[in-house]
Amino acid sequence: MFKKTTLENGLRIITAPMKGTNTITVLVLCGTGSDHESRELRGISHFLEHMFFKGTENRPRAIQIAEELDGIGSVYNAFTSHEITGYFVKAEKAHLAKSLDVLSDIYKHSLLAEEEIEREKQVVIEELHRDLDTPENHIWWIWERLLYKDQPAGWDTIGIEETIRSFTREQFVNYFEHQYTSANTAVVVAGNFDEASIGSDIAKRFADIRSGNPIREKPDVKEEQASPDIYLEHKKTDQTHLVVGFRGYPGLHESKYAAEVLGAILGSGMSSRMFVRIRERLGLAYTVMSAHESYSNRGFLVTYAGVDHTNVEKTIRAVLEEYKKIRDEGITPQELRRVKDQIRGRTSITLEASNAVANFVGQEEMMTGKPLTIDEIFDKIEAVAIDDISRVSREMMKPERLNLALIGPFEDKRVFEDMLNEF
């Protein structure tokens, strides 16, 4: 269970007590990310995340922040997505006050020093190059680029080298002041803490946060597709990385939970359809998985595999055949029961950790504004029927929603176009 409180300035406080742990996690979330960026600001949300650890008015040097958090044995980091930027500290429960103090300080009082910005530019570019050299990560950038083309939803969250090198301190300060506001912020605390005092402590620490609503809103997503589409990135790799899938449902869509169950049936675990077909029976891949993923305004159902170059066509055909089979023939009651129990069990195991609980509640809050308890989510999963799986399969698995992203040593995509056009 969790408790949500919204202060007069719009700041949201979410507390999730967990008596059976010795840790706490503090997660501060801002409802801004690459979806909110203009063309000239591509990557600024992620870059700004880096700058929060480079010094504040109270801790002018980056090493002071690091030493304080390392000194309590904490795990700390930050992340940026299309819609959210987050900062977290997970520590022993005795260090809740220190964790809150450091996070509130960097969130409110970061210096954004010009010399630190200039130095960090190369660091961010090296992170970009690392990701470009890691095809199992880069394939997801390509997948979103394929679906959403030249709009924020299709831009890589990290940005591009040209804009990263061009950013000025004035741009950082402007983005910071207009996006990091009280109404755009949620503070989540999960773990073992004093429930009686935590709310007032958070309110006090964040009392002087900038007020008002953010000025940069994310634009509507354009999803224009009439036939199967392909994005092929030619690259010399040891294996080909591919994603085959369909446009799906956004986070608040009534069919999201049915689509998530469908994704689990297809490719979650060693008993899933894709795993059994592609790894166990055909021996084509070590890694193969399927899932339905949602943002607040879009979603997709995907299957990923990394395979030998000589097995790419065979793998794609097998994936498409499994899609057709589940769409046209449906599933069994036993299969549905097994996957529901699998989702419940794995989710329960995951949520034994305070950081997982904080992420679970916080990201749902930022994406939907209506976070559900775990029992409410289990109820929605349990309500999914065989007819729901058949319906969402037919709705999603259409040629005009079908896409293939691929990284490998291929230059001619005609053979892949032919396979998709047969679907």
Type and span of the H or E element at 309: none
pLDDT score of 339: 98
Copy the structure tokens of residue 350: 């995951």
pLDDT digits (tens, 9 = 90+) for 8-35: 999 999 999 999 999 999 999 999 999 9
pLDDT for 1 equals 81
Q: Which pair of tokens denotes residue 386?
A: 């065989």
> Mean pLDDT, the chain, as a whole number?
97
Question: Any bridge partners for residue 247, and if so which?
Answer: 300
Per-residue pLDDT of 60-73, as tens digits, reads 999 999 999 999 99
Look at residue 212 and tell me whether its pLDDT is greater than 90.
Answer: no
What is the model's pLDDT at position 214? 86
Tokens 């046209």 -> residue? 328
pLDDT digits (tens, 9 = 90+) for 312-350: 999 999 999 999 999 999 999 999 999 999 999 999 999
Cβ burial 152-168 (10 Å sphere, 16+ → b, else e): bbbbbbbbeeebbeebe
Is-catalytic flag, 322?
A: no
pLDDT at position 120 over 90? yes
pLDDT of residue 216: 87
Q: How far apart are CA 155 and CA 374, in angstroms?
A: 32
Q: What is the pTM of this model?
A: 0.95
Q: Which domains does the chain have, with CATH numbers?
A: 3-205 (3.30.830.10), 229-421 (3.30.830.10)
pLDDT tens column, 232-254: 999 999 999 999 999 999 999 99
User: Where are the alpha helices (H) located in 229-282, listed in sequence order?
Assistant: 256-267, 273-274
pLDDT at residue 38, as a whole number? 96
How many CB atoms are closer than 10 A to CB 360? 21
Distance CA 53, CA 88 (A): 12
Cβ neighbours of residue 13 closer than 8 Å, sequence gap 6 or more? 4, 5, 6, 7, 186, 187, 189, 199, 202, 203
Token pair 């960090």 is found at 120
Residues of the chain above pLDDT 90, percent: 96
Catalytic residue among 37, 40, 49, 57: 49
